[in-house]
Amino acid sequence: MTRSGPDPRQPRLRIRILFGERAMLGPGKAELLERIAEGGSIAAAGRAMGMSYKRAWSLVEEMNAAFREPLVARARGGPGGGGAALTAAGESVLRNYRDLEALTAEAGAERIRAIEALLGDMSGER
Amino acid sequence: MTRSGPDPRQPRLRIRILFGERAMLGPGKAELLERIAEGGSIAAAGRAMGMSYKRAWSLVEEMNAAFREPLVARARGGPGGGGAALTAAGESVLRNYRDLEALTAEAGAERIRAIEALLGDMSGER
């Protein structure tokens, strides 16, 4: 799966939400949720992000434990099999996080441009 | 120097701006700039953040190199002495970053609350 994504020359925001000691949600977990939703597999989602199966699993379990309802549901099918999907709660968390990204990029655009205008032009950039 | 800061029970955003390969600006560098502005010392600013002198210096040099004009100016005074201050560019970058934080927290408040509402209550929280 390839992602075209935004223009790499454009400034991008990476947003992390810290819910005190209860949970933390950032770009990595959001991408993991999104890839699980698209591909139906925790292992494949982790692999696409260069993550070990164990790491992807542990992030999913962390999210499932932190929220009132699990964000990711596994279908039965033995180790590594059976597939996975987002629950309604998982879809809601992902959608709200993506909305947050879009809203903040819009709200902050002027400030980001002001900082960018002060950057060097890096003519020697590789 | 103590910082009262926001209520730790309230969700907080941590925002990082990625300017392609040119620069990255996030909460750590912003706090370093702020502490330099307040205390007039790179060493003291880094120390207050649990950073080695070398690390604080290297972050300052990285910022100074990435921007058209340095963000931090050092007064003369030999190694470790002489003090440091933000330049006009440094003050502008810091102010725009803090404005960005405030604007995005406001713009994203509803989405953050929606995610928070799905969190468990962690009655067993330590």
Among B68, B96, B125, beta carbon nearest to A111? B96
Judged on CB neighbours under 10 Å (0-12, 13-18, 19+), B76 is exposed
* Nearest to B41, CA basis, from B1, B83, B81, B75: B83
Per-residue pLDDT, B97? 98
Inter-chain CB proximity B14 and A19 less than 8 Å: no
Inter-chain CB proximity B25 and A115 less than 8 Å: yes
* Nearest to A86, CA basis, from A41, A47, A25, A56: A41
| A24-35 confidence digits (pLDDT tens) | 999 999 999 999
DSSP labels, B37-82: HHHS-HHHHHHHTT--HHHHHHHHHHHHHHBSS-SEEEPSSSTT-S
| Mean pLDDT to the nearest integer, B2-25 | 82
CA A94 from chain centre, in angstroms, equals: 8
Among B8, B93, B100, beta carbon nearest to A108? B100
Percent of chain B with pLDDT over 70: 84
Per-residue pLDDT, B87? 97
Q: How far away is chain B from the Cα of A87, in angstroms, using its nearest Cα?
A: 12
How many Cα neighbours within 13 Å face the side chain of A61? 6
Among A15, A97, A126, beta carbon nearest to B15? A15
| Mean pLDDT to the nearest integer, B92-108 | 96
Inter-chain CB proximity B104 and A99 less than 8 Å: no
* CA closest to B123 among chain A residues: A22
Inter-chain CB proximity A115 and B96 less than 8 Å: yes
Residue B4 pLDDT class (50, 70, 90 cuts): low
Chain A hits for B26, CB-CB cut-off 8 Å, are 14
Q: How far away is chain A from the Cα of B86, in angstroms, using its nearest Cα?
A: 14
ipTM of the complex: 0.86
Is the pLDDT at B32 greater than 50? The verdict is yes
* CA closest to B120 among chain A residues: A68
Residue B50 pLDDT class (50, 70, 90 cuts): very high
Comparing A9-13, A39-43, B4-8, the range with the smallest average pLDDT is B4-8
Which residues touch A104 (CB under 8 Å, ≥6 apart)?
A13, A15, B13, B15, B103, B104, B107, B108
| A70-112 confidence digits (pLDDT tens) | 999 987 665 555 699 999 999 999 999 999 999 999 999 999 9
Read off the tokens for B52.
């080695």
Percent of chain A with pLDDT over 70: 84
Q: How far away is chain B from the Cα of A60, in angstroms, using its nearest Cα?
A: 14
Q: Which residue has the tokens 């009132």?
A: A68
Judged on CB neighbours under 10 Å (0-12, 13-18, 19+), A83 is middle
Q: How far away is chain A from the Cα of B52, in angstroms, using its nearest Cα?
A: 25
Is the pLDDT at A59 greater than 90? The verdict is yes
Q: Which one is predicted more confidently, B9 or B79?
A: B9
Residue B40 · residue B34 · CB < 8 Å? no
* Nearest to B70, CA basis, from B28, B33, B41, B27: B33
Is the pLDDT at A125 greater than 70? The verdict is no
Q: How far apart are CA B107 and CA B90, in angstroms?
A: 25
Per-residue pLDDT, A30? 98
Is the pLDDT at A1 greater than 50? The verdict is no
Is the pLDDT at A126 greater than 60? The verdict is no
Length of chain B: 126
